[in-house]
Structure 1
């Protein structure tokens, strides 16, 4: 059973790194939106294509419109919640399957 436990721990760590990288992408995208960059720049297009599918549903769910777009903040809070709750739970589950203590 230690192999399954190690697999769950490894998946949790990879997911944690992926969420950290995505949170950095969200922050960069939010900062770039303040300066109105060239929309034809490949980096700007990549950031927009990666973050906009996540921002759009959150903007639609907000019952009010603000002069500032708060969807990046909400996405960062969701990522933080996932890192605290989901990743910690997966790591603890992996250690329990292995039969060891945390």
Structure 2
């Protein structure tokens, strides 16, 4: 489990593979100077089932991984996450679609 830390105040544990896909999408949008919301569910925290933050190039954000290996990214999942991030609701975790490259 890796950790996404927002503005040095909010930290959430996320599986390394999921975190790597989120990082690819977030970095691409922030690199272009885009701002957008990111919402995730966190049923482990008592009393709070969902958290939303506003991601901006001006807010510190870090991705820390438990493992040292970079997971192989599924381009179809990156595309699905990017589509979610570009929607009015903003980025949220969507199910991973099948990776056509993995079937070869």
Of Structure 1 and Structure 2, the greater helix share is in: 1
Larger Rg belongs to: 1
Of Structure 1 and Structure 2, the greater strand share is in: 2
Higher RCO, 1 vs 2 (CA within 8 Å, ≥6 residues apart) = 1
